[in-house]
Amino acid sequence: MVLGLPPVFHLAGVDLLGFLLLWGAAATLVRSRATAFDRLMISGVTLVGWTCALALIVGKWRYGIHPLTLAESTALVLVVVRALAGPAPARPGLPPAARVRALVPTRDHPLLLTAGLAVSFIMYPVLHRNAAERLALITSAEDLARHSALYDTILRLGGLVSLNQAEAATTVEDNLETYPQGSHLILAVITSFLRNGRPHEMQLPLFVLLYTVTAAALAVAVLWAVHRAAGPALRGWRNLALVLPAGAFLVVAELPKLYFNGFISELFALGLLAVLVALAIRPLDRIHEQLVVMAALVAGISFGHYLLLPAAGATVLSWAVCHWPSWKRHRVTALAAAAVAGGLALFPIAVNLSTAGSAEVLTVPGGITPVGRHLLFPLVAGALAVLLTRSARADRARRTALGACGAIVLFSFAIRQYQLQKTGDTSYFYEKVLHQLLVIGMVTAAAAVLPLFGRRILAGERRPAGSRAGRGLRPAVAVLTATGCLLYGTVFNSQPDVSRAAGWEGSPGRNMLRGGQARWDVAERVTAIHESRPAGDKRVAVSLGGHRVWDELKPDWGSSEDNLWLGVLNSDQGRSWRSWMWGLGRHGAGDIVYYASIAPEPLRVYLDNAELAAEVRALMHGKGKEAPDLELGLLRRDASGRMVVEPFPLH
């Protein structure tokens, strides 16, 4: 059935059902003790690693990442795995209600509730806005424009850009062809299933939606990892005291910063890292499943953002040392999994070695919002302090957590010292490492939560004396009190380290809900320009609307955003990036005419100043037959106040 249904779904134009079928079929292959949510999470991250590996093969095929190609290739593997694994162990028949309770136990209810709230919080600002407004939400994320060009190119070429560099030259900037492309690949695959393999046209609103889903998926992955790392001792709704403050910390304090900066690759890889740490602390029951899932996670992390590989490697090493008795009898399988994962993980590094093959890259500055130290550092310090206690070190799961947490702390300190030695200050990549510290710190802190709070309060141990109501009341009050205090403390301290407003008022989460980071002016110009573009036009579009001096802080400061996003919508970033660099400053009529004469591509320049456009026309007339190949468009508002573009004749 798994092999036969994808072609039927494709013919019916509902390939997305095939995607869901494969995910569900992969979830049924998990034989370790797991709830339905666990199975979906474990199979999902495994399919991510498999898709990255498959992309190395199908990237040169005629149909590339066509949904039918991917579905049949994946279905064949699932059928083989099912045949090798044999039939599932017989289980006693259960009534439907009992079967549902087994798949979705009470202990999962707080996790599902918190995950739903987190996803709703993240998705709301995007879902209730139209296409132009969605663009406005992310235009200030300069990196995201380049990431969307990679996503667009993978869809157009049907494979990784790093395997098709010559064909990608017109749509991707120089030195970006070899950037790690795991996140772009997965979003392109999802888009291919959504569009049933139809020829691709860049749809930016869909990309913005998928980008936001990636941020929501990170929140879900971290919450699941926190829940799993805490272990089975937190019974029932007592988990709310753990996952609700953790979810608030993520979506109110830190995750919006990553979202605003457009760090799609990091969002993707951090989610995989969270799952890897959780599975290292609380492994699957079956060692072969554990090895396969960890190998897939390491490969996916490398394809997503290989800066996370040291943390991932340290986590796997910590698991291997602490769980040596579990896998030493399966050394051949372990070595095979390590060889496959290592080979796949080396691919993104090898292809990008010429661009980022020196330690000096770690000191390169970049635009990034600092991580809030006032919450992160106490969290990590508290987790380490608890994990270093004798009772924690006696437990194998917490020893693994200690190894993972200690390794990322040392790695963060090493990057900090290296940057201080080289430049005298910390910068871009130190903040990137702190993002890893944030995720690993949250997950390992969950592993330490019972020793920290005591088993009698949160673990739910039964009390022999007293009535049933009395036995349940005191733990319930303790759990609700702990949940409320932790939630209030988290939200009250969710503002950045340097903020005029404290708590919720100054938090990135509130800013995200209100669309405070949106650039409505840029989105309005870009939308008007793109809608006015003649069909089949090959000219490079250059917007000089708004104020155009680098670092000139004015309300309508456009800087690079107009031209970056025009390059995305026109699928010509590889051709237009030089004009983007030229357009960073304010230019007079002479500058415009001169640049048009030396530009490698014919231009269409868009101005919002009629007087400047008239000066350009006068200069063009003065050059006669030597006038460069240039066209002008004039940005103005019509009677209804809507921004439109009118052609401005030069002859």
The pTM of this model reads: 0.93
Query: Tokens for 90?
Result: 């017989």
Q: Phi and psi for 578 in degrees, rounded to 5? A: -70, -40
pLDDT for 474: 63
Binned at pLDDT 50, 70 and 90, residue 548 comes out as: low
For 329-353, give one letter per residue: b (16+ CB within 10 A) or e.
eeeeebeebbebbeebbebbeebbe
The answer to whether 46 and 293 have CB atoms below 8 angstroms apart is yes
**DSSP secondary structure of 90-154:** P-----HHHHHHHHS-GGGHHHHHHHHHHHHHHHHHHHTS-HHHHHHHHTT-HHHHHHHHHHHHH
pLDDT at 535 over 90: no
Q: Phi and psi for 636 in degrees, rounded to 5? A: -155, 170
Beta-strand runs (E) in 522-576: 540-543
pLDDT for 550: 46
Query: Tokens for 69?
Result: 């190609």
pLDDT at 460 over 90: no
533 closest CA partner among 413, 443, 645: 645
Q: Count helices and strands (H / E) in the chain.
A: 30, 4
Percent with pLDDT over 70 in the chain: 92
pLDDT at 458 over 70: no
Q: How many CB atoms lie within 10 A of CB 151?
A: 27
pLDDT at 549 over 60: no
Percent with pLDDT over 90 in the chain: 55
Query: Tens digits of per-residue pLDDT, 116-144?
Result: 999 999 999 999 888 888 888 988 888 89
pLDDT for 626: 83
Query: Tens digits of per-residue pLDDT, 563-587?
Result: 888 988 888 888 888 888 888 777 8
pLDDT for 452: 67
Neighbour-count burial of 461, counting CB atoms closer than 10 A to its CB (0-12 exposed, 13-18 middle, 19+ buried): exposed
Q: Phi and psi for 134 in degrees, rounded to 5? A: -65, -40
Query: Tens digits of per-residue pLDDT, 84-98?
Result: 887 776 666 667 777
309: left (phi over 0), alpha (psi -120 to 50) or beta: alpha
The DSSP H or E segment spanning 419 is helix 396-423
The structure tokens 């796997």 sit at 316
Q: What angle do CA 227, 230, 231 make, to 5 degrees?
A: 100
pLDDT at 245 over 50: yes
What is the rounded CA–CA span in Å between residue 461 and residue 201? 58
Cα dihedral value 23, 28, 30, 31, nearest 10: 180
Query: Tens digits of per-residue pLDDT, 2-41?
Result: 888 889 999 999 999 999 999 999 999 999 989 999 999 9
Higher pLDDT: 79 or 583? It is: 79
In the chain, how long is the greatest CA-to-CA distance?
101
Query: Tens digits of per-residue pLDDT, 319-352?
Result: 999 998 888 888 899 999 999 999 999 999 999 8
pLDDT for 91: 67
Higher pLDDT: 280 or 368? It is: 280
Query: How many Cα atoms are found within 13 Å in the side-chain-facing hemisphere of 402?
Result: 18
Beta-strand runs (E) in 378-434: none
Binned at pLDDT 50, 70 and 90, residue 433 comes out as: very high
What is the rounded CA–CA span in Å between residue 396 and residue 220? 26
pLDDT at 388 over 70: yes
Min mean pLDDT across 70-74, 560-564, 616-620 is at 560-564
pLDDT for 90: 64
Sequence-separated (6 or more) residues with CB below 8 Å from residue 337: 291, 292, 294, 295
Q: Specify the amino acid at residue 246.
A: A
Query: Tens digits of per-residue pLDDT, 357-383?
Result: 677 788 888 888 999 999 999 999 999
Neighbour-count burial of 143, counting CB atoms closer than 10 A to its CB (0-12 exposed, 13-18 middle, 19+ buried): middle
The answer to whether 448 and 392 have CB atoms below 8 angstroms apart is yes
Which among 234-248, 303-317, 382-396, 514-528 has the top mean pLDDT? Answer: 303-317
pLDDT at 471 over 80: no
What is the rounded CA–CA span in Å between residue 287 and residue 400? 16
- Kindly give the interhelix angle for 264-281 and 309-322, rounded to the nearest 10 degrees: 10
The average pLDDT across 216-225 equals 97
pLDDT for 472: 54
pLDDT for 234: 78
